[in-house]
Amino acid sequence: MRDMAAGPRVLLRRLRELMAEALEPQARLDRIVHAIARNMVAEVCSLYVLRADSVLELYATEGLNPGSVHLASLQLGQGLVGTIAASARTLNLSDAQQHPAFAYLPETGEEIYHSFLGVPVLRAGRTLGVLVVQNRTKRTYRDDEVEALETAAMVIAEMIAAGELARLTRPGLELDLSRPASFTGLSFNDGIALGHVVLHEPRIVVTNLFNEDGDVELARLETSLGSLRLSIDDMLSRRDVAFEGEHRAVLEAYRMFANDRGWVRRLEEAIRNGLTAEAAVEKVQSDMRARMLHMTDPYLRERMSDFDDLANRLLRQLLGKSPDTVAAALPKDAVIVARSMGAAELLDYPREKLRGLVLEDGAPTSHVVIVARAMGIPVAGQVKGAVSMSENGDPVIVDGDEGTIHLRPQSDLEAAYAEKVRFRARRQQLYRELRGRPSDSRDGVHVDLMMNAGLAVDLPQLADSGAAGIGLFRTELQFMVASTFPRAEAQEKLYRDVIDAASGRPVTFRTIDIGGDKVLPYFKATAQEENPALGWRAIRLTLDRPALLRTQVRALLKAAGGRELRVMLPMVTELGEIAQAREIIDREVRHLSRFAHHLPTSLKVGAMLEVPSLLFQLDELMRAVDFVSVGSNDLFQFVMAADRGNTQLSDRFDPLSAPFLRALKQIADAGRRHQTPVTLCGELAGKPISAMALIGLGYRSISMSPASIGPVKAMLCELPVAEIEAFFADNLHGSATMPFRALLQAFADDRSIPL
């Protein structure tokens, strides 16, 4: 019986010899297609390469008219070759001319051939061309022949990716690898960035394709698979991961794939056909990605990133490489492209070189986005496919305003965005000129414009933005970027630095708000939660673990010695929680007094209103605290029963809708009745149109990202507060026929208010 793997092995051996010879690119291609035709006893072997203009050009042939090389071409999707390129799927036909997609190219002389086998030339799931063999007789090619041709296509893909065929490209034309590509995601932080791609986890480049000893490679694969499976099992056994539902689901998927016999069998088959273990992983991963890209089931398509991550983990195991999260030599205009990343990982990159961030996953309120916002860099999120289509060093434009990115942009698009950047710079200059101007409306109403912060990197922006103070200091960010609980001394130093930087301006410290989506890898949860956002988090957690709150309160009291201290409790649900927290705070005050520590001159305790239950006890709440801060992000998701991290719901409900605006007005009115200061410190405050609405509802203190203060102040300076209040008096409880956002936009347009 014939050894079915002998054909591919012999072919691969011949290709290895051809790759090692000193040949011109065209000569090498000609010899390759000749070797393939001879090995497969085919009368024709042709290579079509995909150009940037979506045209497949004949680059080499054995058996067809040699004069048609670089002249014969097909559009993407045209004919059998175009169909293969568009679908990234193999076609194996005994009578090609009967296929509905068959297209006859008279210049090639291929009409006499019937049997046809075509495979896509793939790299990282991207189609770079098509490799074809043909015969006169009607026959279906065997599985081993298909495997041989797919393996040959992989070798050619590496030639294309290495730029070897660039010299064969006619002037004015480029290969598809350099084709411009645009992606649409979601805007996570405004701004425009022009720079060059830095892949957060660069793909392993496989340079050693051909094996010397198949048994050795199979053993390497088995060893690395074993290590991979153990590492996944180890992660699943860790309690901090095991009790996080979403993380666990991903890792369970990894474990399932890592133990899938079909996947392992394909890897072993590729090795037996002559590839190294790492080349086998690259080939199987690319084939699988190409197939999954064309699946209609959204769940299965989402699993692509799981397959990619798993294959990259296996490649690292095989090559003994650990992920290097910070590039050794970043370009001066780095745009980080990642599937997902943590806040601490972003902070590892030198701030002065960062221009933008692109995420395939994430949400506007995820921690890395909060840190990126603090750093003032534009962020586009939910940009599916960005990682696989990017190469390190690719030019890229990030449009954080629209949530789009443009890879390898054409010169006219780049010029248009460069002008947009210059326009934004001029506008920012206007905002800087407003910095020293009081934040008063056109009719003289003063509104405190505060900034949100959470890390030391935020502090310089307090002066730069002209903020009236820090309306929300997220103390949990210090915990999230650390590998262990920050010691009391480290907390005290940070809080003192923040108060010093404020130079007498008010600072509101929110006590540690962890749990839910804010997972600390070193903090062990006690039970798995199906809905962490509604579970054991924020004040619920710290009241159950009072040592956490005591340590933080003591650090805050010491840091604020001789100055005012404002402490805010997150996610309060009932007034009893405020009483319990006050008792802990009072105990720490008494403890420090006993040892003659320098205490704050004034201590104010407030609550964050983000749980709807407080809407039904507003009068009691206003009497129980010194101030209230409205957390509009959480309050909106709870009022609307819409997970703020769910991209399917991100545009479904509008915070500028009558139900939510009425709830916000109730809060502002209650604060005014009891003379309890109320600040709103969510995403709503940072957009001029929603900030205008808040002022119309009665808010006189709002807190936002530093970059938002300029645009909001520009709006405020032109806003007649009396008129926007009258607008709400007339419309808020009526039955408006237009959406509130449209009514607000019309109000601003009529009065030339910049939004």
The residues that are catalytic are 367, 681
Q: 10 Å Cβ neighbour count for 543?
A: 16
Contacts of 333 (CB under 8 A, 6+ apart): 193, 194, 195, 196, 353, 355
Residue 566 has phi, psi (to 5 degrees) of: -115, 120
**The pair of three-digit structure tokens given for residue 587, joined into one six-digit string:** 């105990």
| CA pair distance 443, 432, nearest whole angstrom | 22
| CA pair distance 610, 510, nearest whole angstrom | 13
Position 382, amino acid:
Q
| CA pair distance 695, 676, nearest whole angstrom | 17
Strand partners, 448: 701
Radius of gyration of the chain (CA): 31
| CA pair distance 255, 258, nearest whole angstrom | 5
- 125 touches 294 (CB < 8 A): no
Structural element, H or E, at residue 355: strand 354-359
Residue closest to 635 by CA, chosen among 535, 704, 519, 533: 533
Q: 10 Å Cβ neighbour count for 85?
A: 28
Kindly give the pairing relationship between strand 627-630 and strand 602-609. parallel
Using CA atoms of 694, 700, 701, 703 in order, give the dihedral in degrees to the nearest 10: 30
Q: In what order do the strands lie in the sheet with 404-407?
A: 181-184, 404-407, 395-399, 192-199, 334-338, 354-359, 379-381, 186-189
59 in helix, strand or coil?
strand
Contacts of 246 (CB under 8 A, 6+ apart): none
Contacts of 503 (CB under 8 A, 6+ apart): none
**The pair of three-digit structure tokens given for residue 665, joined into one six-digit string:** 């007005």
Position 333, amino acid:
D
- 473 touches 498 (CB < 8 A): yes
Position 602, amino acid:
S
| CA pair distance 147, 134, nearest whole angstrom | 16
Residue closest to 692 by CA, chosen among 663, 669, 670, 661: 661
Helix residue ranges, H only, 320-379: 343-347, 367-375
Contacts of 281 (CB under 8 A, 6+ apart): 206, 267, 311, 314, 315, 318
712 in helix, strand or coil?
helix
